[in-house]
């Protein structure tokens, strides 16, 4: 009995040790406060640090966020100070600090997601994470090995800044912190695998989006699926209840193999609604259909790995072998 107990304890601690060894801890640089605490008298010194931390992303920051207007260093330094002294930007910084006063939980979730990513793709590089204020220019962006998170894009749908920006309701809805993790992982998937998005038909695009959703579903197992899709519960429920009607609509209107983006833009991109469908049909419905095709494909072909899924670029093969036939 004692030996059995000791064996169980050994297995438990071996499992815990393996889990700790498998978990990655990414490098983070929280740039918002560092930027806003900069003064004209110390900007030269602080710029050296942040340009080291930002790496190649510093060119993006300088040219597209600060919108550098001169190669003269003194003039650029003054431009940075002007940027951080904009009243609305200072207020946004305060809102960021209030919303994300403790970023540790997000860091843990991001680390867990990239631990799963590393499990599936051990040879792929891992990003450095930068959180920052982008002047309402970027939500999630990637550059080389940097993944940058514009925190002002995740302040919540009722943030006053989105009213000032005249964002419509469907855009405001996207700017919730619960959508940050799925947005991060979609951005990194595209960073690494966009080269495999080769087709121009709606079917091809839907299957690529389905691969994204299948990937997100695997690396973020604890997040509700409607959040992974960046839908409300009601929107996802509508999609499930009308899945066969959605599929029939796409076939009967000859959209499935259409290469005309105007035909299907709202099925893949944010929009007030899915063009031509029932008024309750949410935009980006192609993500939902694509995921179900890909998920069926993986269930019916269990020998296929997620890496092999991504490498398979023949959408007809995936559709045929998925045996996708919604019948609700």
Q: Tell me how crowded residue 300 is: count the other CB atoms within 10 A of its CB.
A: 12
Q: What is the DSSP letter of 44?
A: H
Q: What is the DSSP letter of 61?
A: I
Element of type H or E holding 83: helix 73-84
Q: Is 275 left (phi over 0), alpha (psi -120 to 50) or beta?
A: beta
Cβ proximity of 282 and 274 under 8 Å: yes
Q: Is 72 left (phi over 0), alpha (psi -120 to 50) or beta?
A: beta
For 147-168, the three-class secondary structure string (H helix, E strand, C coil) is: EEEEHHHCCCCCCHHHHHCCCC
Q: Is the pTM of this model over 0.85?
A: yes
Q: What count of Cα atoms within 13 Å lies in the side-chain half-sphere of residue 279?
A: 0
3-class SS shares of the chain: helix, strand, coil, % to 5: 60, 5, 35
Distance CA 83, CA 290 (A): 42
Q: Which of 122, 105, 111 is nearest to 185 (CA)?
A: 111
Domain positions in the chain: 28-191, 199-322
Evaluate the CA torsion angle 135, 141, 146, 148 in order and state its sign.
positive
Q: Exposed/middle/buried for 168, CB within 10 Å: 0-12, 13-18, 19+?
A: exposed
pLDDT of residue 5: 53
Evaluate the CA torsion angle 218, 222, 223, 225 in order and state its sign.
positive
Cβ proximity of 144 and 128 under 8 Å: no
The set of long-range contacts for 107-112, using a CB threshold of 8 Å and a minimum separation of 24, is 107/26, 107/28, 109/181, 109/220, 110/26, 110/181, 110/184, 111/23, 111/24, 111/25, 111/26, 112/23
Per run of 10 residues, the mean pLDDT along the chain (length 328 residues) is 53 48 86 94 92 90 89 92 95 96 94 97 95 93 94 96 94 96 97 91 97 98 97 97 96 95 94 92 97 98 96 95 90
pLDDT of residue 1: 56
Q: In what order do the strands lie in the sheet with 140-143?
A: 28-30, 128-132, 146-150, 140-143
């Amino acid at each position: 009995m004692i030996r059995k107990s000791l064996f169980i304890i050994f297995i438990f601690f071996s499992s815990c040790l393996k889990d700790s060894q498998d978990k990655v801890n990414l490098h983070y640089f929280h740039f918002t406060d560092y930027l806003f605490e900069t003064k004209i008298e110390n900007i030269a010194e602080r710029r050296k640090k942040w340009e080291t931390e930002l790496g190649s992303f510093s060119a993006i920051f300088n040219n597209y966020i600060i919108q550098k207007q001169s190669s003269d260093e003194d003039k650029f330094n003054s431009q940075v100070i002007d940027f951080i002294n904009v009243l609305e930007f200072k207020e946004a910084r305060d809102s960021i600090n209030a919303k994300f006063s403790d970023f540790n939980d997000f860091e843990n979730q991001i680390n867990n997601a990239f631990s799963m990513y590393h499990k599936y793709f051990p040879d792929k590089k891992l990003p450095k994470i930068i959180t920052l204020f982008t002047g309402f220019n970027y939500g999630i962006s990637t550059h080389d090995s940097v993944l940058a998170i514009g925190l002002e894009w995740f302040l919540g749908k009722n943030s006053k800044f989105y009213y000032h920006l005249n964002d419509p309701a469907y855009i405001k809805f996207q700017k919730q912190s619960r959508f940050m993790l799925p947005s991060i992982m979609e951005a990194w998937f595209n960073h690494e695998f966009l080269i495999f998005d080769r087709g121009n038909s709606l079917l091809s695009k839907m299957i690529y989006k389905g691969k994204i959703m299948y990937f997100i579903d695997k690396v973020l197992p604890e997040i509700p699926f409607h959040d992974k899709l960046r839908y409300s519960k009601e929107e996802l429920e509508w999609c499930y209840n009308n899945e066969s009607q959605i599929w029939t609509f796409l076939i009967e209107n000859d959209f499935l193999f259409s290469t005309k983006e105007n035909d299907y833009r709202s099925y893949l991109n944010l929009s007030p609604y899915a063009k031509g469908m029932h008024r309750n049909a949410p935009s980006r419905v192609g993500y939902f259909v694509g995921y179900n095709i890909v998920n069926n494909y993986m269930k019916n072909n269990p020998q296929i790995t997620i890496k092999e899924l991504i490498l398979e670029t023949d959408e007809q093969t995936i559709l045929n072998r998925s045996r996708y036939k919604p019948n609700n």
